Homo-oligomer: A and B are copies of this chain.
Amino acid sequence: MQEGPSASQDSLASRWPRYEAAVLGFRHYWYPVLESRKLGRRPRTITVLGEKIVLVRDNGKVRALQDRCPHRGVPLSAGRREFPGFLTCRYHGWTYDIATGELVAALTDGPDSPICGLADVRVKTYPVEERVGLIWVYIGDEPHPAVEADIPEELLMPDAVVIPLVELRKGDWRYAMENAVDESHARYLHRKTPFAFFRKFPAYQTNVRMMPSEDGKWLRRLSKPVFDSAEYPRVGQWPKKEGFWRKAGGQVIVGGARLPGIFSVGHKNWLDFQIFVPVDADHQLTVQVSMRRTRGLGALIWRLRYWTYIRFFHHVILQRWEDGFIVGAIDAPPEYLFRPDVSIVGWRKWCDEKARRSPAEVAGTQPKAKPADALTGAK
């Protein structure tokens, strides 16, 4: 049941101070930052939540350190692997234990260099893990949770065949995530996208609401799609008559949002996850993870499907060109929300309330959580 306009506008105008402050995202989470296969022997530098990090693969294991030598501030990503297990700064040969960030030698000061004994000269390290073809880095205070706590379960299933894609894109990470959470834009922006060529598209939806999952991890988006063309006051019928080939479909895409910035979409027999990783105030990594549960020949066919059309039609045209253009073009605030934005409002409130706090805050005086249904637009 839809709300009346005034109530709706009131509820749409609530405030979410933690969310508003999260220009660089929420700390104390694991974030995917690079495809595993892209990290070879050469160190790679990335920026996540405003922090410059160098990734190093050492004896198979990935390590992450702050990308800055404390001596004069030269990037360690320009450094060399002089000794196994150690990264050596290009400038003066300051040599760090890749696993701990400890300064173990300053080559150009001889083997007795007193700088090595100083406890405060070390490079910050980050917890880092590889899962499902991606490198995940924990940004936040210790102690950190297991990386599995921040990876959707489906991706970790033994028969999951996962294909990841990481892209740097323009735009605030929150616009990108809200664009994913928002179902209504698809009815218009993506109406003629090649990926949905054979699919019947709803014209609009009613009764949009967000509902927490039983395990409390996901905030699922529910709505009732309307497929028929309708008569709009003043402008007339919409959608106009569409191609006869649009027969498939009719089912609604169920989507779910999850902290710190994950959105999942269930397709007929595969799942698509989008993970938005804040880089700086104007950029985010868009991590797209496509997954199907299958094995053997099925896995081969799935990969074939992915590379022949899913990647280009879905990830490039629909998500890079269509969504990506919009996310980079949004110029807000101010904003003026409408009824379907109940989903965005629900997500913002959810973040405001549920985003992890630092272990220190939790040990102190964390405010008690409000009931979950207060988060949704449907009362």
Contacts and interface: CB of A to CB of B under 8 A. Distances in A.
Interface stretch (A18-26, A74-82, A162-170): A74-82
A70 B235 CA distance: 20
Given A74-B326, A335-B73, A92 B184 contact: yes
A232 B105 contact: yes
A188 B5 contact: no
Contacts of A88: 188
Nearest to A183: B108
Using C-beta atoms within 8 Å of the partner chain, give the interface range for chain A. Answer: 35 or more
B204 A336 contact: no
A284 to B, nearest CB: 17
A91 B338 contact: no
Interface string A263-283: 000000000000000000000
Copies of this polypeptide in the complex:
3
A236 interface: yes
A234 interface: yes
A293 B198 CA distance: 60
Contact of A235 (B71, B105, B330): B105
A2 to B, nearest CB: 8
A107 B82 CA distance: 62
Interface in A65-119: 68, 70-75, 78, 82-83, 86, 88, 90-95, 97, 104-118
Contacts of A73: 330-335
A375 to B, nearest CB: 21
A90 B337 contact: no
Contacts of A334: 70, 73
A351 to B, nearest CB: 18
A154 B108 CA distance: 31
Contacts of A110: 203-204, 206, 226, 230
A4 interface: yes
Nearest to A337: B71
Given A109-B184, A334-B70, A338-B106, A4 B235 contact: no
Interface string A214-244: 0000000000001000111111101000000
A39 interface: no
Nearest to A184: B108
A189 interface: yes
A15 interface: no
A125 interface: no
Contact of A91 (B8, B9, B206, B326): B326
A340 interface: yes
A82 B235 CA distance: 9
A110 B238 CA distance: 9
Contacts of A113: 338-339
Nearest to A78: B329
A185 interface: yes
Given A91-B326, A93-B188, 15 more contacts: A5-B115, A5-B117, A71-B335, A73-B335, A74-B330, A91-B189, A92-B188, A95-B235, A105-B238, A106-B338, A109-B184, A109-B339, A114-B339, A115-B338, A116-B233
Going nearest first, the 8 A-B pairs with the smallest beta carbon separation are A5-B114, A73-B331, A93-B188, A108-B184, A73-B332, A115-B338, A110-B204, A83-B235
6 contacts: A68-B331, A104-B235, A107-B232, A108-B204, A110-B203, A110-B204
Interface of A: 2, 4-5, 8-9, 68, 70-75, 78, 82-83, 86, 88, 90-95, 97, 104-118, 121, 175, 184-185, 187-189, 203-206, 226, 230-236, 238, 325-326, 329-340
